Protein backbone atom coordinates (compact mmCIF):
# COMPACT_ATOMS: atom_id res chain seq x y z
CA UNK A 1 0.00 0.00 0.00
CA UNK A 2 1.23 3.46 -0.88
CA UNK A 3 0.24 5.17 2.37
CA UNK A 4 -2.33 7.60 3.66
CA UNK A 5 -3.63 10.76 2.09
CA UNK A 6 -1.83 13.96 3.04
CA UNK A 7 -4.98 15.16 4.83
CA UNK A 8 -4.48 12.51 7.48
CA UNK A 9 -1.23 14.22 8.40
CA UNK A 10 -2.67 17.72 8.67
CA UNK A 11 -5.24 16.85 11.32
CA UNK A 12 -5.37 14.90 14.55
CA UNK A 13 -8.03 12.50 15.74
CA UNK A 14 -10.80 14.55 17.37
CA UNK A 15 -9.75 15.37 20.96
CA UNK A 16 -12.77 13.69 22.56
CA UNK A 17 -12.43 10.64 20.33
CA UNK A 18 -9.00 10.09 21.92
CA UNK A 19 -9.44 11.43 25.44
CA UNK A 20 -12.72 9.65 26.15
CA UNK A 21 -10.94 6.32 25.53
CA UNK A 22 -8.53 7.26 28.33
CA UNK A 23 -11.45 8.32 30.55
CA UNK A 24 -13.26 5.04 29.76
CA UNK A 25 -10.14 3.05 30.68
CA UNK A 26 -10.03 4.76 34.08
CA UNK A 27 -13.71 3.95 34.56
CA UNK A 28 -13.08 0.29 33.67
CA UNK A 29 -10.36 0.27 36.33
CA UNK A 30 -13.07 1.25 38.81
CA UNK A 31 -12.33 4.98 39.07
CA UNK A 32 -15.52 6.95 39.86
CA UNK A 33 -15.06 9.49 37.08
CA UNK A 34 -17.32 12.54 36.96
CA UNK A 35 -17.38 13.64 33.36
CA UNK A 36 -17.84 17.40 32.98
CA UNK A 37 -16.11 17.34 29.63
CA UNK A 38 -18.56 16.76 26.89
CA UNK A 39 -21.72 18.63 25.87
CA UNK A 40 -23.91 15.62 25.27
CA UNK A 41 -27.29 16.12 26.99
CA UNK A 42 -27.92 13.42 29.60
CA UNK A 43 -31.66 14.21 29.73
CA UNK A 44 -34.00 12.27 27.43
CA UNK A 45 -35.98 13.74 24.53
CA UNK A 46 -39.70 14.46 25.01
CA UNK A 47 -41.78 11.21 25.10
CA UNK A 48 -43.61 12.23 21.89
CA UNK A 49 -40.26 12.19 20.10
CA UNK A 50 -39.48 8.64 21.18
CA UNK A 51 -43.02 7.54 20.30
CA UNK A 52 -42.75 8.99 16.80
CA UNK A 53 -39.54 7.02 16.24
CA UNK A 54 -40.99 3.76 17.56
CA UNK A 55 -44.28 4.14 15.66
CA UNK A 56 -42.41 4.70 12.42
CA UNK A 57 -40.02 1.82 13.04
CA UNK A 58 -42.98 -0.54 13.48
CA UNK A 59 -44.38 0.42 10.07
CA UNK A 60 -43.01 -2.01 7.50
CA UNK A 61 -43.13 0.69 4.83
CA UNK A 62 -40.74 3.04 6.56
CA UNK A 63 -37.39 1.36 6.04
CA UNK A 64 -36.41 2.40 2.55
CA UNK A 65 -34.13 5.18 1.35
CA UNK A 66 -35.55 8.60 1.97
CA UNK A 67 -35.78 11.82 0.07
CA UNK A 68 -32.36 13.55 -0.22
CA UNK A 69 -33.91 16.84 0.96
CA UNK A 70 -35.81 15.26 3.87
CA UNK A 71 -39.56 14.73 3.76
CA UNK A 72 -41.56 17.94 3.10
CA UNK A 73 -43.22 17.66 6.53
CA UNK A 74 -39.81 17.86 8.22
CA UNK A 75 -38.80 20.91 6.20
CA UNK A 76 -42.18 22.47 6.97
CA UNK A 77 -41.62 21.83 10.69
CA UNK A 78 -38.19 23.50 10.54
CA UNK A 79 -39.80 26.41 8.71
CA UNK A 80 -42.59 26.72 11.33
CA UNK A 81 -39.99 26.47 14.10
CA UNK A 82 -37.96 29.32 12.57
CA UNK A 83 -41.09 31.44 12.28
CA UNK A 84 -42.38 30.68 15.77
CA UNK A 85 -39.15 31.14 17.70
CA UNK A 86 -36.97 33.43 15.57
CA UNK A 87 -39.72 35.26 13.60
CA UNK A 88 -37.83 34.38 10.45
CA UNK A 89 -39.47 33.28 7.20
CA UNK A 90 -37.81 30.37 5.43
CA UNK A 91 -39.48 28.53 2.59
CA UNK A 92 -39.77 24.84 3.30
CA UNK A 93 -39.60 24.29 -0.46
CA UNK A 94 -36.04 25.40 -1.06
CA UNK A 95 -34.48 27.27 1.87
CA UNK A 96 -33.98 24.41 4.33
CA UNK A 97 -31.91 21.25 4.03
CA UNK A 98 -32.06 18.71 6.90
CA UNK A 99 -28.70 17.35 7.98
CA UNK A 100 -27.49 14.27 9.80
CA UNK A 101 -26.35 16.51 12.67
CA UNK A 102 -24.99 19.98 12.03
CA UNK A 103 -21.36 18.78 12.28
CA UNK A 104 -21.56 17.18 8.83
CA UNK A 105 -22.92 20.51 7.57
CA UNK A 106 -19.53 22.08 8.28
CA UNK A 107 -17.97 19.73 5.73
CA UNK A 108 -20.77 20.09 3.16
CA UNK A 109 -20.77 23.88 3.37
CA UNK A 110 -16.98 23.99 3.05
CA UNK A 111 -17.02 21.63 0.07
CA UNK A 112 -19.77 23.63 -1.61
CA UNK A 113 -18.18 27.05 -1.40
CA UNK A 114 -14.46 26.56 -1.05
CA UNK A 115 -11.62 25.50 -3.32
CA UNK A 116 -8.17 24.40 -2.27
CA UNK A 117 -6.10 27.43 -1.25
CA UNK A 118 -9.10 29.64 -0.44
CA UNK A 119 -8.91 31.46 2.89
CA UNK A 120 -11.44 30.97 5.67
CA UNK A 121 -11.99 33.04 8.83
CA UNK A 122 -12.23 30.89 11.95
CA UNK A 123 -12.93 32.04 15.52
CA UNK A 124 -10.27 31.42 18.18
CA UNK A 125 -11.50 30.04 20.53
CA UNK A 126 -14.05 28.10 18.50
CA UNK A 127 -15.49 24.71 17.64
CA UNK A 128 -12.47 22.64 16.46
CA UNK A 129 -14.28 21.17 13.44
CA UNK A 130 -14.18 24.48 11.49
CA UNK A 131 -10.44 24.23 11.54
CA UNK A 132 -10.00 20.50 10.93
CA UNK A 133 -12.45 20.41 8.02
CA UNK A 134 -10.70 23.42 6.49
CA UNK A 135 -7.32 21.74 6.79
CA UNK A 136 -8.64 18.51 5.29
CA UNK A 137 -9.86 20.44 2.26
CA UNK A 138 -6.58 22.30 1.80
CA UNK A 139 -8.02 25.69 2.79
CA UNK A 140 -6.02 28.30 4.65
CA UNK A 141 -7.48 28.99 8.10
CA UNK A 142 -7.17 32.62 9.18
CA UNK A 143 -7.89 32.71 12.90
CA UNK A 144 -9.57 35.78 14.35
CA UNK A 145 -9.16 36.37 18.05
CA UNK A 146 -12.09 36.50 20.41
CA UNK A 147 -11.13 38.16 23.68
CA UNK A 148 -12.83 38.49 27.03
CA UNK A 149 -12.29 42.28 26.97
CA UNK A 150 -14.39 42.40 23.82
CA UNK A 151 -17.14 40.18 25.22
CA UNK A 152 -15.79 37.36 23.04
CA UNK A 153 -17.01 39.21 19.95
CA UNK A 154 -14.83 39.68 16.87
CA UNK A 155 -12.64 42.77 16.87
CA UNK A 156 -13.80 44.39 13.64
CA UNK A 157 -10.87 46.81 13.55
CA UNK A 158 -8.48 43.89 13.68
CA UNK A 159 -10.49 42.04 11.01
CA UNK A 160 -10.37 45.05 8.68
CA UNK A 161 -6.57 44.93 8.90
CA UNK A 162 -6.38 41.34 7.70
CA UNK A 163 -5.69 40.59 4.06
CA UNK A 164 -9.21 39.55 3.15
CA UNK A 165 -8.67 39.30 -0.60
CA UNK A 166 -8.74 35.49 -0.65
CA UNK A 167 -11.23 35.01 2.19
CA UNK A 168 -14.45 33.43 0.91
CA UNK A 169 -16.10 32.23 4.09
CA UNK A 170 -16.32 33.25 7.75
CA UNK A 171 -17.46 30.93 10.55
CA UNK A 172 -19.32 32.52 13.41
CA UNK A 173 -21.11 30.82 16.27
CA UNK A 174 -23.37 32.85 18.55
CA UNK A 175 -24.38 31.89 21.20
CA UNK A 176 -20.72 31.06 21.31
CA UNK A 177 -19.15 27.80 22.31
CA UNK A 178 -17.01 27.51 24.45
CA UNK A 179 -17.28 30.99 26.02
CA UNK A 180 -21.08 31.27 26.35
CA UNK A 181 -21.11 34.77 24.79
CA UNK A 182 -24.65 35.70 23.84
CA UNK A 183 -26.02 36.22 20.37
CA UNK A 184 -26.85 39.87 19.83
CA UNK A 185 -28.69 41.52 16.96
CA UNK A 186 -26.29 44.48 16.76
CA UNK A 187 -23.42 42.05 16.50
CA UNK A 188 -25.24 40.07 13.79
CA UNK A 189 -25.88 43.29 11.90
CA UNK A 190 -22.20 44.26 12.06
CA UNK A 191 -21.22 40.79 10.88
CA UNK A 192 -23.64 40.92 7.95
CA UNK A 193 -22.36 44.38 6.96
CA UNK A 194 -18.76 43.19 7.22
CA UNK A 195 -19.54 40.11 5.10
CA UNK A 196 -21.33 42.20 2.47
CA UNK A 197 -18.54 44.77 2.35
CA UNK A 198 -15.91 42.10 1.71
CA UNK A 199 -18.07 39.66 -0.24
CA UNK A 200 -17.56 36.85 2.28
CA UNK A 201 -20.09 34.10 2.94
CA UNK A 202 -21.07 34.31 6.61
CA UNK A 203 -22.00 31.03 8.26
CA UNK A 204 -23.61 31.19 11.68
CA UNK A 205 -23.47 27.89 13.52
CA UNK A 206 -26.43 28.08 15.88
CA UNK A 207 -26.92 24.94 18.00
CA UNK A 208 -27.18 26.71 21.38
CA UNK A 209 -29.83 29.37 20.76
CA UNK A 210 -32.31 27.98 23.31
CA UNK A 211 -29.99 26.93 26.12
CA UNK A 212 -30.40 29.32 29.07
CA UNK A 213 -31.70 31.91 26.61
CA UNK A 214 -35.27 33.24 26.60
CA UNK A 215 -35.12 34.97 23.24
CA UNK A 216 -33.44 32.70 20.71
CA UNK A 217 -31.79 34.53 17.83
CA UNK A 218 -30.97 33.78 14.22
CA UNK A 219 -28.65 35.58 11.81
CA UNK A 220 -31.66 35.93 9.49
CA UNK A 221 -33.26 38.39 11.90
CA UNK A 222 -30.97 40.90 10.21
CA UNK A 223 -32.65 42.31 7.15
CA UNK A 224 -31.00 41.18 3.94
CA UNK A 225 -28.86 38.57 5.70
CA UNK A 226 -30.01 35.81 3.36
CA UNK A 227 -28.07 37.47 0.54
CA UNK A 228 -24.75 36.77 2.27
CA UNK A 229 -25.34 34.34 5.16
CA UNK A 230 -26.35 30.79 5.86
CA UNK A 231 -27.12 29.21 9.21
CA UNK A 232 -26.67 25.77 10.69
CA UNK A 233 -29.08 24.58 13.35
CA UNK A 234 -29.38 21.42 15.39
CA UNK A 235 -31.72 19.39 17.57
CA UNK A 236 -28.81 17.90 19.52
CA UNK A 237 -29.00 20.32 22.43
CA UNK A 238 -32.45 21.90 22.05
CA UNK A 239 -34.27 18.55 21.94
CA UNK A 240 -31.77 16.31 23.79
CA UNK A 241 -31.19 14.39 20.57
CA UNK A 242 -27.40 14.56 20.22
CA UNK A 243 -27.06 10.87 19.36
CA UNK A 244 -29.93 10.94 16.88
CA UNK A 245 -28.05 13.22 14.50
CA UNK A 246 -30.54 15.79 13.26
CA UNK A 247 -29.89 19.35 12.20
CA UNK A 248 -30.37 21.59 9.21
CA UNK A 249 -28.72 24.20 7.04
CA UNK A 250 -30.80 27.20 6.05
CA UNK A 251 -30.27 29.96 3.52
CA UNK A 252 -31.36 31.29 0.16
CA UNK A 253 -32.51 28.77 -2.43
CA UNK A 254 -29.43 29.14 -4.61
CA UNK A 255 -27.10 28.31 -1.71
CA UNK A 256 -29.25 25.45 -0.44
CA UNK A 257 -29.47 23.99 -3.94
CA UNK A 258 -25.68 23.98 -4.25
CA UNK A 259 -25.21 22.36 -0.82
CA UNK A 260 -27.80 19.72 -1.78
CA UNK A 261 -25.80 18.97 -4.91
CA UNK A 262 -22.79 18.07 -2.74
CA UNK A 263 -24.62 16.35 0.11
CA UNK A 264 -26.80 14.18 -2.14
CA UNK A 265 -23.62 12.60 -3.45
CA UNK A 266 -22.41 11.75 0.04
CA UNK A 267 -25.33 10.17 1.94
CA UNK A 268 -28.73 8.79 1.05
CA UNK A 269 -31.10 10.62 3.35
CA UNK A 270 -32.16 10.16 6.95
CA UNK A 271 -34.19 7.28 8.42
CA UNK A 272 -37.89 8.17 8.32
CA UNK A 273 -38.29 7.39 12.03
CA UNK A 274 -35.72 10.03 12.91
CA UNK A 275 -37.39 12.52 10.60
CA UNK A 276 -40.79 11.91 12.22
CA UNK A 277 -39.20 12.18 15.65
CA UNK A 278 -37.57 15.47 14.64
CA UNK A 279 -40.98 16.76 13.54
CA UNK A 280 -42.34 15.96 17.00
CA UNK A 281 -39.37 17.74 18.60
CA UNK A 282 -39.73 20.83 16.41
CA UNK A 283 -43.38 21.10 17.37
CA UNK A 284 -42.72 21.18 21.12
CA UNK A 285 -43.89 24.37 22.75
CA UNK A 286 -42.14 26.89 24.97
CA UNK A 287 -42.74 24.79 28.12
CA UNK A 288 -40.24 22.25 26.86
CA UNK A 289 -37.45 24.81 26.67
CA UNK A 290 -38.47 26.38 29.99
CA UNK A 291 -38.27 23.05 31.77
CA UNK A 292 -34.86 22.26 30.25
CA UNK A 293 -33.56 25.66 31.24
CA UNK A 294 -34.77 25.22 34.78
CA UNK A 295 -32.60 22.12 35.08
CA UNK A 296 -29.61 23.78 33.41
CA UNK A 297 -30.04 26.90 35.56
CA UNK A 298 -29.72 24.89 38.79
CA UNK A 299 -26.78 22.94 37.47
CA UNK A 300 -25.06 26.12 36.45
CA UNK A 301 -25.31 27.52 39.96
CA UNK A 302 -23.74 24.36 41.34
CA UNK A 303 -21.00 24.46 38.73
CA UNK A 304 -20.25 28.07 39.66
CA UNK A 305 -19.66 26.80 43.21
CA UNK A 306 -17.41 24.07 41.85
CA UNK A 307 -15.45 26.62 39.81
CA UNK A 308 -15.16 28.95 42.82
CA UNK A 309 -13.72 26.10 44.89
CA UNK A 310 -11.06 25.70 42.25
CA UNK A 311 -10.35 29.46 42.30
CA UNK A 312 -11.33 29.76 38.66
CA UNK A 313 -12.61 33.03 37.18
CA UNK A 314 -15.79 33.01 35.13
CA UNK A 315 -18.61 35.24 33.99
CA UNK A 316 -22.17 34.64 35.13
CA UNK A 317 -23.66 36.59 32.23
CA UNK A 318 -23.51 33.79 29.70
CA UNK A 319 -25.78 31.36 27.85
CA UNK A 320 -25.36 27.90 26.36
CA UNK A 321 -24.30 24.61 27.75
CA UNK A 322 -20.91 25.42 29.29
CA UNK A 323 -19.01 27.48 31.79
CA UNK A 324 -15.78 28.91 30.42
CA UNK A 325 -13.40 29.33 33.32
CA UNK A 326 -9.96 30.90 33.59
CA UNK A 327 -7.19 29.13 35.45
CA UNK A 328 -4.85 31.06 37.75
CA UNK A 329 -2.09 32.67 35.65
CA UNK A 330 0.67 30.53 34.28
CA UNK A 331 -1.06 27.16 34.64
CA UNK A 332 -1.06 24.96 31.55
CA UNK A 333 -4.60 23.77 30.84
CA UNK A 334 -3.62 20.23 29.75
CA UNK A 335 -1.59 19.69 32.95
CA UNK A 336 -4.48 21.05 34.98
CA UNK A 337 -7.02 18.77 33.30
CA UNK A 338 -4.86 15.70 33.88
CA UNK A 339 -4.23 16.63 37.51
CA UNK A 340 -7.97 16.93 38.10
CA UNK A 341 -8.61 13.70 36.21
CA UNK A 342 -5.95 11.58 37.90
CA UNK A 343 -6.10 13.07 41.41
CA UNK A 344 -9.81 13.82 41.74
CA UNK A 345 -11.40 11.65 39.04
CA UNK A 346 -13.05 14.70 37.51
CA UNK A 347 -12.81 15.30 33.77
CA UNK A 348 -13.11 18.82 32.33
CA UNK A 349 -12.14 20.04 28.87
CA UNK A 350 -8.84 21.88 28.32
CA UNK A 351 -9.43 25.25 26.64
CA UNK A 352 -6.62 24.94 24.11
CA UNK A 353 -8.53 22.38 22.02
CA UNK A 354 -10.61 25.39 20.92
CA UNK A 355 -7.56 27.34 19.75
CA UNK A 356 -4.56 29.29 21.02
CA UNK A 357 -6.75 31.79 22.86
CA UNK A 358 -8.12 28.93 24.95
CA UNK A 359 -4.77 28.20 26.64
CA UNK A 360 -5.17 28.90 30.35
CA UNK A 361 -8.90 28.15 30.30
CA UNK A 362 -11.10 25.11 30.89
CA UNK A 363 -14.68 24.33 29.84
CA UNK A 364 -17.21 22.80 32.23
CA UNK A 365 -20.32 21.14 30.82
CA UNK A 366 -23.84 21.48 32.20
CA UNK A 367 -24.63 17.92 31.05
CA UNK A 368 -23.93 16.58 34.54
CA UNK A 369 -26.54 15.76 37.17
CA UNK A 370 -26.79 17.87 40.37
CA UNK A 371 -25.73 14.91 42.56
CA UNK A 372 -22.57 14.47 40.54
CA UNK A 373 -21.67 18.15 40.68
CA UNK A 374 -22.27 18.09 44.44
CA UNK A 375 -20.04 15.01 44.71
CA UNK A 376 -17.37 16.81 42.67
CA UNK A 377 -17.53 19.81 45.02
CA UNK A 378 -17.08 17.46 48.01
CA UNK A 379 -14.04 15.88 46.41
CA UNK A 380 -12.41 19.28 46.22
CA UNK A 381 -12.68 19.72 49.96
CA UNK A 382 -9.71 17.43 50.27
CA UNK A 383 -7.65 19.27 47.71
Tell whether residue 173 is a contact of ligand PLP (CB under 6 A): yes
Among 36, 169, 177, 323, binds ligand PLP (CB under 6 A): 177
* 230 CB-near residues (< 8 Å, 6+ apart): 109, 201, 202, 203, 204, 249, 250, 251, 255, 256, 259
Tell whether residue 70 is a contact of ligand PLP (CB under 6 A): no
Q: What are phi and psi of 227, to 5 degrees?
A: -65, -30
Find the farthest-apart pair of alpha carbons in the chain and give their distance in angstroms, rounded. 61
Rounded CA separation 266/262 (Å): 7
Tell whether residue 372 is a contact of ligand PLP (CB under 6 A): no
Among 77, 79, 131, 236, binds ligand PLP (CB under 6 A): 236
Tell whether residue 45 is a contact of ligand PLP (CB under 6 A): no
Among 41, 101, 154, 351, binds ligand PLP (CB under 6 A): 101
Tell whether residue 123 is a contact of ligand PLP (CB under 6 A): no
Across 122-160, b (16+ Cβ under 10 Å) vs e yields bbbbbbbbbbbbbbbbebebbbbbbeeeeebbbeeeebe
Q: Contacts with ligand PLP in 245-274 (CB under 6 A)?
A: 247
Q: Judged by CB under 6 A, how many residues of this single chain contact ligand PLP?
A: 13
**Considering only CA atoms, which of 382, 345, 347 is closest in space to residue 364?**
347
**Considering only CA atoms, which of 43, 71, 41 is closest in space to residue 274?**
71
Tell whether residue 103 is a contact of ligand PLP (CB under 6 A): yes
Among 19, 33, 34, 39, binds ligand PLP (CB under 6 A): 39
From residue 289, alpha-carbon distances to 74, 135, 237, 293 in Å are 20, 36, 10, 6
Among 78, 86, 127, 174, binds ligand PLP (CB under 6 A): 127
Tell whether residue 209 is a contact of ligand PLP (CB under 6 A): no
Q: Choose one: 85-93, 97-105, 184-192, 303-311; the region binding ligand PLP (CB under 6 A).
A: 97-105
Q: Where are the alpha helices (DSSP H) in 33-99?
A: 47-58, 72-81
Q: Which is nearer to ligand PLP, 173 or 345 (CB)?
A: 173
Q: What minimum distance in Å lies between the beta carbon of 103 and ligand PLP?
A: 3
Q: What minimum distance in Å lies between the beta carbon of 201 and ligand PLP?
A: 17
DSSP bridge pairs for 146: 154
Q: Are the beta carbons of 363 and 323 closer than 8 angstroms?
A: yes
Tell whether residue 242 is a contact of ligand PLP (CB under 6 A): yes
Q: Which is nearer to ligand PLP, 113 or 164 (CB)?
A: 113
Rounded CA separation 131/129 (Å): 5
Tell whether residue 231 is a contact of ligand PLP (CB under 6 A): no
Tell whether residue 179 is a contact of ligand PLP (CB under 6 A): no
What one-character DSSP code corresponds to residue 242?
Answer: G
Tell whether residue 168 is a contact of ligand PLP (CB under 6 A): no
- Residues lying near ligand PLP in the complex (CB under 6 A): 39, 101-103, 127, 173, 177, 205, 207, 234, 236, 242, 247
Amino acid sequence: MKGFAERVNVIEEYYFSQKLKEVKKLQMEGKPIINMGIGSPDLPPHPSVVEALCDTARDSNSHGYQNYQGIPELRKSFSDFYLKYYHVHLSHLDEILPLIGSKEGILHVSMTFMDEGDHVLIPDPGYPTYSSVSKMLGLKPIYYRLRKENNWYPDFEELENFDLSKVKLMWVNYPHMPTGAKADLDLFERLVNFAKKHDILLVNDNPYSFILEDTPKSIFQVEGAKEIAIELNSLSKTANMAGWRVGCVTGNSENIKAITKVKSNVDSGMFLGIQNAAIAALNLDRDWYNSLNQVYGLRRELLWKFAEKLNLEFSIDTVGMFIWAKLPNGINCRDYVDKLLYEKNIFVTPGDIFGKQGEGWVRLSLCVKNEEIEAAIKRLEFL
